[in-house]
Structure 1
Amino acid sequence: MRSLADDLRGRTDAELTALLQARPDLARPAPGDVTSLTARATTRASIQRALDGLDLAHLQALEAVVVAAPASAGEVAGLLACDVARAEELTGRLRELALCWRSPEGLRPARPVAEVVGDPAGLGPPGADVPQGSALEQALAAQDARARSLLDALTWGPPFGALGRTGPMAAAAAGLVDAGLLVRLDEDHVQLPRQVALALRGGRLHRSTATAPPEVEHSALDPDVVDAAAGGRAADLVVLVTELVDLWGARPPRVLRAGGVAVRDLTRLAAHLEIDPDQAAWLLETAHAAGLLAVDDGGRTTEPSATWVPTTLADEWLEDEPGARWAALAQAWWTMPAAPSLVGAGPGPGSGAGGRVNALSTHTSYPLARVRRQDTLRAMAALPPGTAPTEDGLEGLLRWRHPLRTTRLGGEHGGTVVVLREAEWAAVTGRGALAGPGRRLVTAGTVEEAAGLMEPLVPPAVDHVLLQADLTAIAPGRLDGPVRTLMHLVSDVESRGGATVHRFGEASVRRALDAGWSADRVLADLAAASRTGVPQPLDYLVRDVARRHGQARVGSCAAYLRSDDPALLDRVEHDRALGLLQWRRVAPTVLVSPVPASTVLDVLRDEQYGPVVEGGDGGLELGAPRWHRTTARPGAPVRVSSVDEVVARQVVALMRRGEGARASGLDDAGAHTDPLVVSAVLREAAATGEAVWIGYADEVGGVATYLLRPESVVGGRISATVGDGNALRTFLLHRVTRVRTVD
């Protein structure tokens, strides 16, 4: 085999299928033959993408191949200070990924790999006049202490040094240059040749070997304890999202003109749920990604502007089992491109022109956050169950598993700290360790499998409360079903935790009366839901509010207020807080206002007068509360790779047919017209000195055919000789219409 293309042609269909699955960018669009596949696999962008997925052991093995090429497994093992079997395993994987190919002399890197890798392991280029073998050892042994200190400073890189023109170090450097141990770049700079650096390093590439994952500092926990903690977290998550759906279903916040949720609405939600604004922003983004929230633009309602409301999918979600409800949220968080940690930040990668980043806005989109999230949790999945790694230990493991990507992402927007915090909120982890359901979700398990594992871990909902004499009720667990609906209507949550405390007050009781409930019904339902009976203070509160409820009645005038109690109307008429209603007395028991009845009703309720709506026949109109809903609008699915085994086999079959047509000698069967392939073939020909046929468009649109021997391809220009001539001519790369190698 003379090249990577020959190596790929000699592979089986199964091997090519595995290559396309490991490097899916090579299959889109489908290459017509192996030459096209080789050209695409040797582009800088594709190689960089492949290197991003390598761990540190494979990266160091690739550096060893670049240094020793053509390299044998024994040479790679010596450079990595490992056994030959491990070196063969590492280099075998590099060859499977088409980053290396096997020549008769040994393993060689694909041509652009060395350019992408740069200076391997901090080594400089080889020197031309460096002593070899025992002569090099003798030359190093003959150096004095000053010269050795200079060599030691350059041994592990960088291999370049700046020196003065005079002084002891300049003299020592001059002696090393004369001995062939340094190369002078100019009057002030020297370079350590690769051969000398390897000799000084003892034949190793790096100070410490990285052929195995590092030991991760951690705490060992009982997996059952971890799962139980995750189950409790899942129950909390389900409760919070249920409260969110109830709150925004009744009082949806408006959508900002620039998109997203206003800061005051986010703060109000955080206070209602008794969580931090950071967690509230995360909760909103996760619920939105799960399709439970969407924008209602008022197209089918009388709303004056767009609002954020729950979707019809939220109603289906509320009817699911707790495990399935958790799994839908956890899966949405696992795949969503949003970075909730950006909310509240100033200008950054997601904020565009600048300013504050609002929750649910497009500025929270940051796909690299998803990459960091998935890298982190997959690293945790590689640890034994019950392992709770420290932050530093997990960072070290990430730097080994994905060194290039981790270095590029760095600690941006919290990094590992943010991922671990959100994983706890999502109940994917418990007490810092990956839980069983979370592990199934992370390791490509189905949502149904994860839901099945979580279902028995979620504490069951309770169907009762404990009413207290201080006008509170304690829910000893998660409420669900009719009891949750009842307590949500007639009480307000005072504190959350393992046991939730609900507070009864005039406003909460009036809320039930406004919905058409009677005092007897409220007390009867509370008695049925309580294990302790209805305390006397609560009975007094409900009946007292019910006795005063409905004494004032609002109708249309634009609005009128009627009451059988003239003293109440006197108080309403002279209440300064109601001055905007512009009351006018038309009878001892009737006030009228030019303000619409709906506004009069809201204002009187805000001032605790407890009015009810009166119909045209004088009867009461008690309507049920309105729950806002809109149609679910699922976002575009996130696809990291669309090449499965079936697609890869189809692409391989297409390439085989292309290779067969090329071998049959059909006209232009071996010609390539893809600009990417054209450029790669010409660069390969320039590196190997081979000749190629090209089609070249002139100024008037005609296409001529030339036999070229490219010398270089730089800046969109090709320097080449034509035919048997020796004179260099320049061709413009963008005018080359096709290229075909000379067999």
Structure 2
Amino acid sequence: MTDRPARSLADDLRDRTDDELAALLQRRPDLARPAPADVTALAGRATTRTSVQRALDGLDLAHLQALEALLVAHPAEPADLATLLATDEDTAARLTSDLRELALAWRSPEGLRPARTLGEVVGVPAGLGPVGERVPEPDRLSTALAELDPRQRSLLDALTWGPARGAVAIAAPDGTASPVAAAAGELVAAGLLEREDEGHVVLPREVALALRGGRLHQHPAPRPPAVEHAALDPDVVDAAAGGRAGELLVLVTEIVEEWGTRPPRVLRSGGVAVRDLSRLAAHLETSPEETAWLLETAHAAGLLAVDDGSRRQDQPAQWAPTPAADDWLDNAAGARWAALASAWWASSAAADLVGTTDSGRVNALSTATSYPLGRQRRQDALRALATLPAGAVAQEDALGELLRWRHPLRMARHAASADTAASLVTVLREAEWAGVTGRGALSGPGRAVVAGDAGGAADLMEPLVPAAVDHVLLQADLTAIAPGRLDGAARALMRLVSDVESRGGASVHRFGEESVRRALDLGWTADRVLEELAAVSRTGVPQPLDYLVRDVARRHGVARVGACSAYLRCEDAALLDRIERDRALGMLQWRRIAPTVLVSPVPAPTVMDLLREEQYGPVADGGDGGLELAGARQHRAAPAATPAVRTHGVDEVVARQVVGVMRRGDTGRAASHDEEGTITDPVVVAATLREAAVDGQALWIGYADDVGGVATHLVRPLAVEAGRVRASLGDADNDNVRTFSLHRVTKVRPAR
């Protein structure tokens, strides 16, 4: 960046190299969309209130204080600002250089100046009042302040650090002046205070700076606050994160398989019903809060979507895994974790909103969980945590203090809209669930996620996730212990023939009649079930488990259901008598048509479900009278047409393309000037008017009237918006303001 003084921000930007302009567009991506026509248009866009506010949101407290100092002392050099900031000149130069790189300041012949809109956006800098009209000269001011009596000094001290405006009446209602009013009157007479009206006084800016000892802020913060933290071994942190990542993979895999076989319905208002969420939480043995977070994360990763039943007219809309879930299951553990962690990092869903709120019930996976501010809160907190050394565990209060230094404006809005401490607790809790942190410290793979390197995060996490096991230990009490995370064929088998009794590093699976019957319903025989279990067990098949499987198989399929609406045939007349008289099956309205046959007006699938609930173990008859196997049905939903909300910056390639567009625009603008400097190209005319509105430059314009005549006006543009130019007539600012239609401006020429 050249240090050559410029007459405007546009000139300052025009003198920058392509690399510097590309860096600006990457740091302020809103300036690149849509691409500015030329550098003049870039300068105009960079000084709009919206763009300036976005830029200020990303500044830390040190840069904001430097910006306020520049607003107070401009034009200024770093040495002047160092005194106001109570820091060294090198630090002041670094801060102002950053502001200039962000196009929030520019170098004029007299020194650094802030962009014009900054004063409107920032407002009163550092609580200072206006410049005084009768303030004594600096040497006399020091003497006057030293000679103040205690009452006068206390009055000024109350206004020193702001607000600069105070309520002090001239006299009491009975006409006598109070001691405070008398002191205020003396200070006004000395030029140390100014009377705003009969009830208020204001402390002039020069007096306040003198009282502050030349400092602008009571608590200068040129550097981030020191964060007290406990230090853990980074290897211990990574190991804890890897263990949590393994649990995350197990839980999300279980959701995919559970909803693949038993997908829940979509609520009419969207989302998942409370009953379905509670059922899934009980199945996973997790809290409803963590279950809602798991669903939102899996949905953000594209593993879950709504199956609207378009393939079957009788099928209601339901939540089901997508085909991407099958690909995800086949990936390596590190890649699977990175997909989930990156989706959570970029997702705008706030799972902590699920539940009963003041505005009503919020369901998981509904649109009501969308909260972009939560995503910003999450990313700000973890980026602040990433600035600490590896293995550092910061207290929530200390981390909150660091956040307030890094993003003071943003955190002030958060504090006004929510409990900041509770929000930080939520972020840290979810980061632990995601395996991004371990024992409260940011893990190595977590740092890669924060940096946006999903591939690197996957590679770092791969060796940390506990290796999956392919065997179990069968016990004589009809349980099996999996000494780790099950995967592959062993996981599929145990999910089919057993139910999870407890989860953790080692999961416990329970065998029962219902679980064994699931395999038999698929056409498995008792011998096959026992052979498959023996193949994955390191302890052999215990005798009680052998008895259970064979006993269930012996009674399985004795009763057979067909369509009548439904019929039930059974060679065991005693069993048929019991079914016919079972009160729990009264709704089936049995009618006996033969010693071994019952019929019902209820559809066969309902009959089958009720008989299975009552543990009769029926099987279905096919249309030819043969056995009809149930089949393991896996529901899959089409990927969502609208992807999850993402935020995209401007990368280097796009930034350089935009810079090329602006350079060509500048070339075209130069070619459109005639020998007198008159611009006639309509696009360049509009850009020149916008630049003049920003810089306060006077222009000669040609303006076409209603009958086609062109009149020449000397104007000073004030604003260009909505196809109109609002300008004051003449070279100087005045109250004679006129509005011109932009499309009627035929030419412009700088006033000399």
Q: TM-score, structure 1 length as denominator?
A: 0.93
Q: 1:262 aligns to what?
A: 273
Match of 1:231 among 233, 242, 249: 242
Q: What is the Cα deviation at residue 640 of structure 1?
A: 3.6
**Number of equivalenced pairs:** 732
Label 1:515 to 1:712 Cα distance change in 2 as closer, same or farther (>3 A): closer
Paired AA for residue 179 in structure 1? A
Label 1:683 to 1:666 Cα distance change in 2 as closer, same or farther (>3 A): closer
Contact 2:558 2:571 (8 Å CA) reproduced: yes
Q: 2:156 aligns to what?
A: 151
Q: What is the Cα deviation at residue 738 of structure 1?
A: 7.2
Determine if the alignment matches structure 1 residue 426 to structure 2 residue 443: no
Distance in 1 separating the partners of 2:86 and 2:250: 55
Match of 1:710 among 716, 719, 729: 716
Determine if the alignment matches structure 1 residue 334 to structure 2 residue 342: no
Query: Secondary structure at 1:457's aligned position in 2?
Result: coil
Paired AA for residue 691 in structure 1? L
Q: 1:172 aligns to what?
A: 183
Contact 2:679 2:685 (8 Å CA) reproduced: no
Match of 1:603 among 598, 610, 614: 610
Match of 1:185 among 167, 184, 196: 196
Distance in 2 separating the partners of 1:725 and 1:338: 50
Match of 1:462 among 449, 469, 479: 469
Q: 1:684 aligns to what?
A: 694
Q: What is the Cα deviation at residue 216 of structure 1?
A: 0.9
Match of 2:483 among 455, 476, 491: 476
Match of 2:28 among 15, 23, 34: 23
Contact 1:227 1:430 (8 Å CA) reproduced: yes
Determine if the alignment matches structure 1 residue 300 to structure 2 residue 311: yes
Match of 2:445 among 426, 437, 443: 437
Distance in 2 separating the partners of 1:674 and 1:366: 41
Q: What is the Cα deviation at residue 723 of structure 1?
A: 8.6
Query: Secondary structure at 1:185's aligned position in 2?
Result: strand
Q: 2:71 aligns to what?
A: 66
Query: Secondary structure at 1:356's aligned position in 2?
Result: strand
Distance in 1 separating the partners of 2:400 and 2:27: 25
Label 1:659 to 1:500 Cα distance change in 2 as closer, same or farther (>3 A): same
Query: Secondary structure at 2:360's aligned position in 1?
Result: coil
Distance in 2 separating the partners of 1:171 and 1:675: 59
Contact 2:685 2:748 (8 Å CA) reproduced: no
Label 1:664 to 1:318 Cα distance change in 2 as closer, same or farther (>3 A): closer
Distance in 1 separating the partners of 2:272 and 2:493: 29
Q: 1:134 aligns to what?
A: 139
Distance in 1 separating the partners of 2:54 and 2:490: 54
Match of 2:256 among 232, 242, 245: 245
Deviations, residues 307-331 of structure 1 (Å, cap 9, x unaligned): 1111111111111111111111111
Gaps of 5+ in 2: 1-5, 173-177
Q: What is the Cα deviation at residue 490 of structure 1?
A: 1.2
Q: What is the Cα deviation at residue 31 of structure 1?
A: 2.1
Distance in 2 separating the partners of 1:13 and 1:616: 76
Q: 2:424 aligns to what?
A: 416
Match of 1:544 among 544, 551, 569: 551
Paired AA for residue 321 in structure 2? P
Q: 2:528 aligns to what?
A: 521
Q: 1:107 aligns to what?
A: 112
Label 1:193 to 1:607 Cα distance change in 2 as closer, same or farther (>3 A): same
Label 1:366 to 1:729 Cα distance change in 2 as closer, same or farther (>3 A): closer
Label 1:521 to 1:189 Cα distance change in 2 as closer, same or farther (>3 A): same
Deviations, residues 127-168 of structure 1 (Å, cap 9, x unaligned): 111112111111111111111111111111111111233311
Task: After TM superposition, list the pairs within 5 Å mapping 1:175-214 onto structure 2.
Answer: 175-214=186-225
Q: 1:395 aligns to what?
A: 400
Mean CA deviation greater in 465-474 or 320-329:
465-474
Query: Secondary structure at 2:653's aligned position in 1?
Result: helix
Label 1:125 to 1:692 Cα distance change in 2 as closer, same or farther (>3 A): farther
Distance in 2 separating the partners of 1:362 and 1:737: 48
Query: Secondary structure at 2:230's aligned position in 1?
Result: strand
Paired AA for residue 121 in structure 2? V
Distance in 1 separating the partners of 2:504 and 2:204: 66
Label 1:337 to 1:706 Cα distance change in 2 as closer, same or farther (>3 A): farther
Q: 2:496 aligns to what?
A: 489
Paired AA for residue 88 in structure 1? A
Contact 1:671 1:740 (8 Å CA) reproduced: no
Contact 1:312 1:632 (8 Å CA) reproduced: yes
Q: 1:351 aligns to what?
A: none
Match of 1:55 among 54, 60, 63: 60
Q: What is the Cα deviation at residue 662 of structure 1?
A: 3.0
Contact 2:468 2:484 (8 Å CA) reproduced: yes
Mean CA deviation greater in 652-661 or 214-223:
652-661
Mean CA deviation greater in 522-531 or 118-127:
522-531
Label 1:402 to 1:129 Cα distance change in 2 as closer, same or farther (>3 A): same
Q: What is the Cα deviation at residue 711 of structure 1?
A: 8.1
Query: Secondary structure at 2:355's aligned position in 1?
Result: coil
Task: After TM superposition, list the pairs within 5 Å mapping 1:354-373 onto structure 2.
Answer: 354-373=359-378
Label 1:576 to 1:653 Cα distance change in 2 as closer, same or farther (>3 A): same
Distance in 1 separating the partners of 2:377 and 2:686: 31
Q: 1:350 aligns to what?
A: none
Deviations, residues 448-469 of structure 1 (Å, cap 9, x unaligned): 2211110100001112222222
Gaps of 5+ in 1: 348-353
Label 1:560 to 1:640 Cα distance change in 2 as closer, same or farther (>3 A): closer
Paired AA for residue 435 in structure 1? S
